[in-house]
A and B are shown apart, each in its own frame.
Chain A
Amino acid sequence: MSFARAFWLVVVFVLLVALHYTLRPVLAWRASIDFLVIALLLIAVRARPGAAALAGFVLGLMADSLTPEAFGAGALAMTAVGFGASWLKAAFFADNIALNGIFIFAGKWAFDVIFLLAEHRLQGTDLLVQVLLWSPLAAAATAIMGLIVLLTVRPVLGAPRS
């Protein structure tokens, strides 16, 4: 990866993290867009699995610090998603809009499922509703926003490594 592309990758990453803490609270949707997952996937498809897992761990830890009750759950989920995305991208990631959308959707849904199971807060019907209704909706919103971001930054970031 060239220096310029690395620079722009960092800029977009920081921008997405900033959006997570600015735009998301403003929108305050029940099925909210997860900009941190988009930022992680953007990094993961361009990094080795270990680095992607570390990035996910750091991002998750930062997010967890604002919700101490579930401290560690976000870090665990983000680590798993980052590692999985980086490991699976060679098999699934292609230069295809629909596949990219499914990839982000699956990443966000996987994050939610791991997070919800790890934090042990919701149980029974509430957990099912969250996993089968709100999480897919949030994943869909995240996937749409992720596609917009990918299409926007593709000219400066280029295609991910294979």
Chain B
Amino acid sequence: MLAAACAAIAFVLLILPMSTRSSVAATLRATIVLPLAAMQTKAELSRRAFLSHDAALRLIDSVTLRSQRLTGVEEENERLRKLLGLASAIRWGFIPAEALQGRGLGDDFTVTLSAGRSAGVEALSPVVTTEGLVGMVERADNSLSLAILWPHPDFRVSAMAADGSAFGIVTAHRGEGASRYFLEMHSVPLRSPLKAGTAIVSSGLGGVWPRGIPIGVVVSEIKTSEGFAKSYLMRPMVSLPDIASVFILTPERVRAGLENVWSTASSTDSARKALVAAGDSAKKPRDTTVTRAPTTTTTKRDSLARAPVKRDSARRVP
């Protein structure tokens, strides 16, 4: 009897109108079947998560890789924008070059540059970057050149405080360990003390370095046995590991001088950053530079001011 009743009810349910069956089913789903439906939902979600796990991992990997590349691209863009600002400020008389990465051993004080005699590089030409002074070309081959960097024992530059209040000679600091990568300004007259944080630039005396190239910032005074002059420890403006793209100044440009170039470059860079912040990072900086470049007395050398723009990888990033 019970079995027949169950079968009869089931048969009746089968022939009921769809709306009635749906409402009965909905009542069941909302009551006794609710926990079972919840379990099934979670099981199916787990299965989907399991199946999509590998794909999700691949996606995460590619996104991570892309973001890592993007970090490098952003850094490169920043560096190139600065170079662009410096190139606009110098306007003429420089040769852009890449610092070729060495093997890391024995090349702390020298660097190979990607431009040589064929590009107009000569020995004793100053090497600068957006931050300031890097070193000096020691030897120029046909297509490459070798430059000494500021930590080199032979490095010398006549320097002065940015406000012209004190003069001296800047050399590499002969310390041990990390202090080896500081600079030292000595032969500073006793009557011209320098405070920590004072910016030091090249003085232009001697004819090798034009006036106004940032060299470093005074950190502290060094106690020496000299009684007639003071010496100061300096933090260099240019961090050697960060050197990638540099400018080699031509003798004509050195003779013409470079005063106010770095302050102009920094203001250009600020203007460029403002444009970038305004959401026009792709086109406006390029347009600005392109319109400026033809106004310069261009030669084969300084026309490369446009080169950093072409290399701006930001334009290739989708």
Residues on A close to B: CB < 8 A? Answer: 17-18, 21-26, 28, 49-54, 56-57, 60-62, 64-66, 68, 71-73, 75-76, 79-80, 82-83, 118-119
Known contacts A54-B2, A68-B18, then 19 further A-B pairs from the complex at CB < 8 Å, ordered by chain A residue: A22-B40, A23-B43, A25-B40, A50-B1, A51-B2, A53-B3, A54-B3, A57-B6, A57-B9, A65-B26, A65-B33, A66-B25, A66-B40, A68-B21, A68-B22, A71-B14, A71-B16, A72-B10, A79-B7
Residue of B nearest to A67 (CB): B25
Could you tell me how many residues of chain B have their Cβ less than 8 Å away from some Cβ of chain A? 33
Give the one of A17, A23, A76, A82 with max B CB within 10 A. A76
Once A21-B39, A22-B43, A76-B11 are accepted as A-B contacts, the answer to whether A53 and B29 lie under 8 Å apart by CB is: no
A43 to chain B, nearest CB (A): 14
CA A17 to CA B32, docked complex, whole Å: 13
Chain A neighbourhood of B9, CB < 8 A? 57, 75
B180 within 8 A of A: no
A71 contacts B13, CB within 8 Å? yes
Q: Does B44 contact A (CB under 8 A)?
A: yes
Do B24 and A71 touch across chains, with their CB atoms under 8 A apart?
A: yes
When the two chains form the complex, which single residue of B2, B21, B43, B50 contacts A72, counting CB atoms closer than 8 Å? B21
B37 nearest in chain A by CB position: A66
**Distance in angstroms between the alpha carbons of A60 and B3 in the assembled complex:** 13
- CB-nearest residue of chain B to A70: B14
* Among candidates A21, A54, A72, residue contacting B16 with C-beta atoms closer than 8 Å: A72
Query: Which B residues are closer than 8 A to A by beta carbons?
Result: 1-3, 6-7, 9-16, 18, 21-22, 24-26, 28-29, 32-33, 36-37, 39-40, 42-44, 46-47, 50
Measured CB to CB, the closest approach of chain A to B59, in angstroms, equals 23
Q: Are B40 and A76 touching (Cβ within 8 A)? A: no
Give which listed residue, A21, A53, A118, contacts B40 with CB less than 8 A.
A21
B24 CB contacts on chain A under 8 angstroms: 65, 71
Q: Which residues of A contact B28 (CB under 8 A)?
A: 61-62, 65
Q: State whether A26 and B43 are in contact (beta carbons under 8 Å apart), knowing that A62-B28, A68-B25 are contacts in the complex.
A: yes
Chain A residues with CB under 8 A of B44 = 25-26
Kindly list chain B residues whose C-beta atoms are within 8 Å of the C-beta of A119.
14
Given A50-B2, A65-B28: A22 and B12 within 8 A (CB)?
no
> Which residues of chain A are near B25, meaning CB under 8 Å?
64-66, 68, 71
Chain B residues, CB < 8 A from A25:
40, 43-44, 47
Q: Within the complex, what minimum Cβ distance (angstroms) separates B83 from chain A?
A: 58
List of A residues within 8 angstroms of B37 by Cβ: 21, 66
Check B36 against A21 for contact (C-beta < 8 Å): yes
A78 to chain B, nearest CB (A): 8
Residues of B within 8 A of A60 (CB): 10
A-B CB proximity, top 9 nearest = A72-B13, A53-B3, A50-B2, A72-B14, A65-B28, A76-B10, A57-B6, A75-B10, A25-B43
Chain A residue at minimum C-beta to C-beta distance from B51: A28
In the complex, A61→B44 CA distance in Å? 21
- Find B7's partner among A22, A51, A53 (CB 8 Å cutoff): A53
List of A residues within 8 angstroms of B14 by Cβ: 71-73, 76, 118-119
Give 15 pairs: A residue, B residue, CB < 8 Å, sorted on A.
A21-B43, A24-B43, A25-B40, A51-B2, A52-B3, A57-B9, A57-B10, A62-B33, A65-B25, A68-B18, A68-B21, A71-B25, A72-B15, A75-B10, A79-B10
Residues of A within 8 A of B42 (CB): 22
Q: Which residue of B lies closest to A61 (CB)?
A: B28
Closest A residue to B14 by beta carbon equals A72
Q: Is the beta-carbon distance between A83 and B3 smaller than 8 angstroms?
A: yes
Report B-chain residues with C-beta under 8 Å of the C-beta of A26. Answer: 43-44, 46-47, 50
Does the CB pair A62–B32 fall under 8 Å?
Answer: yes
The one of B3, B33, B46 in contact with A66, judged by C-beta atoms closer than 8 angstroms, is B33
Give the most central of A65, A71, A72: most B CB within 10 Å.
A65
Q: How far is the CB of A69 from chain B (nearest CB, A)?
A: 8
Smallest CB separation, A18 vs chain B (Å) = 7
Bound Cα distance A110, B251 (Å): 99
B39 partner residues in chain A, CB cutoff 8 A: 18, 21-22
Q: Which residues of B contact A28 (CB under 8 A)?
A: 47
